[in-house]
Amino acid sequence: MTEPLVRFHEVKKRYGSAFAVKSLDLDIQRGEFVALMGPSGCGKTTTLRMLAGLEQPTSGTITINGKVMNDVPAHQRDTPLVWQSLALFPFLSVVENVEFGLRMRGIDTADRRERALKWLDRMGLAGFEARRIDQLSGGQRQRVALARSLVTEPEMLLLDEPLSALDAHLVIRMQGVLTKLQRELGITFVYVTHSQSEAFAMADRVVIMGQGEIEQIGNPREIFRAPKTRFVAEFVGRNNILAGPVSGGVMTTAQGPVPVATADGPAQIVVAADTVSLSRDRPAQGPAIQAAFLSEEFAGTVIICYLEAADGTEFKAQVTEAQLSALQPEPGQPFWLTWDASRVHVMKA
């Protein structure tokens, strides 16, 4: 295995007595699209800022290309960042924004202008070079920000929730632009987001962070179908989690006994909402849990039903519109939840 482009080794970041990052070990390979995902305050942005040199780790080392970067100031690193706010310079024209990085590197005027124009052209912004930033649409600004970061031809690009300010339809388009760019350039993208759809749509590898620690690293499919921890199962997707001791293939949960194909001892299982079906009568076989209907949520082509078991645990079931109209659920009405026991994912307790 070749040397990774970036290595975080036991990196900790503390603000006063609070840990933003508790202990981070992470390798990022050349040409990889990595997403750091987690809820706000999980340390993902701090991790990115440490990589860019905008924050110093309290302890541990960050290595880029085999060189320890801890004491290298931000402006001497080649780690351009696309900011959540984009941070375009309002007093400069579009092309002056794009060539800023080259100007700081002392590239002469004619050369940097040519390279900046080439990038604007590539981003579909030819003819916009003399505009002011406030004369551009959100999507155009986004592309100016990308051009500004890529004009120096870096080995990696850092992105901090760059799509969070865009309209939904633009987000999908920009996701396409970003993945295509990354493939074409063959450089490393490190993408911070709290959005599961963005991370799963683009990344080769997703790093799930929670409270300053890595919870799981894997490709989107692994993380979605085989969450390692309860945190990941709850954060990713619409999952139901059941826990309890298993004995003889039956798990004793707070909602009643459930057949599980795992060894004896304490366990947790993840039942994805899209594998759950609802019925009024107790199903003849298979696992079954009773819960009262709470509400429904339209999620495009499917509907998510929320139910509450007798002990207060919330369950989610994904149904189609036809199934919902057949069930005619009323709030408070009891239903039976069942699922295919073979499609359950077992986690360590």
Partner 1 sequence: MKAGDILGRVYLGALFCFVFAPIAASFVFSFNSDRFPTLPLGHFTTDWYVRAFSRPELWQAIGNSIAVAAMTALLSTFIGFATAYTDFRYGFRFKPAYLALALLPPTMPLVILGLAMLAWLSQLGLSGTRVGIVIAHTVLATPFAMAICRLRLSQMDPTLEAAAWNLGAGQWTAMRYVILPFCAPAIVSALCLTAAVSFDEFIVAWFVSGLNRTVPVMILEILQGNVDPQINAIGTVVFLTSMSLVIAAQFLIFRRRHHD
List residues near partner 1 by CB under 8 A. Answer: 52-54, 73-76, 79-81, 83-85, 87, 89-92, 100-101, 103-105, 134, 148-149, 152
Q: Give the nearest distance from C-beta 149 to partner 1 in angstroms.
A: 8
Taking residue 263's Cβ as centre, other Cβ atoms within 10 Å add up to: 10
CA–CA gap between residue 210 and residue 222 (Å, rounded): 18
Among 7, 13, 9, 8, smallest CA distance to 58 is for 13
- In the complex with partner 1, the residue whose CB is nearer, 82 or 258, is 82
CA–CA gap between residue 256 and residue 290 (Å, rounded): 9
Q: Give the nearest distance from C-beta 100 to partner 1 in angstroms.
A: 5
CA–CA gap between residue 300 and residue 323 (Å, rounded): 15
- In the complex with partner 1, the residue whose CB is nearer, 83 or 336, is 83
Among 28, 29, 27, 47, smallest CA distance to 37 is for 47
Q: Give the nearest distance from C-beta 176 to partner 1 in angstroms.
A: 25
Residue that has been written with the tokens 């003399």 in this structure: 130
Q: Give the nearest distance from C-beta 79 to partner 1 in angstroms.
A: 7
Among 217, 214, 163, 158, smallest CA distance to 190 is for 158
Exposed/middle/buried for 120, CB within 10 Å: 0-12, 13-18, 19+?
A: buried
CA–CA gap between residue 184 and residue 150 (Å, rounded): 12
Q: Give the nearest distance from C-beta 219 to partner 1 in angstroms.
A: 29
- DSSP-based three-state secondary structure for 193: strand
- In the complex with partner 1, the residue whose CB is nearer, 152 or 196, is 152
- In the complex with partner 1, the residue whose CB is nearer, 85 or 325, is 85
Q: What is the CA radius of gyration of the chain?
A: 24
| Token duo for residue 286 | 């298979």
Q: Give the nearest distance from C-beta 1 to partner 1 in angstroms.
A: 30
- In the complex with partner 1, the residue whose CB is nearer, 101 or 227, is 101
Evaluated on CA atoms 285, 289, 292, 295, the torsion sign reads negative
- In the complex with partner 1, the residue whose CB is nearer, 9 or 131, is 131
- In the complex with partner 1, the residue whose CB is nearer, 53 or 57, is 53
Q: Give the nearest distance from C-beta 81 to partner 1 in angstroms.
A: 5
Partners of 315 in beta bridges? 307
CA–CA gap between residue 33 and residue 199 (Å, rounded): 10
CA–CA gap between residue 137 and residue 165 (Å, rounded): 12
- In the complex with partner 1, the residue whose CB is nearer, 91 or 285, is 91
Q: Give the nearest distance from C-beta 126 to partner 1 in angstroms.
A: 22
Q: Give the nearest distance from C-beta 85 to partner 1 in angstroms.
A: 5
- DSSP-based three-state secondary structure for 26: strand
Partners of 36 in beta bridges? 192, 207
- In the complex with partner 1, the residue whose CB is nearer, 90 or 248, is 90
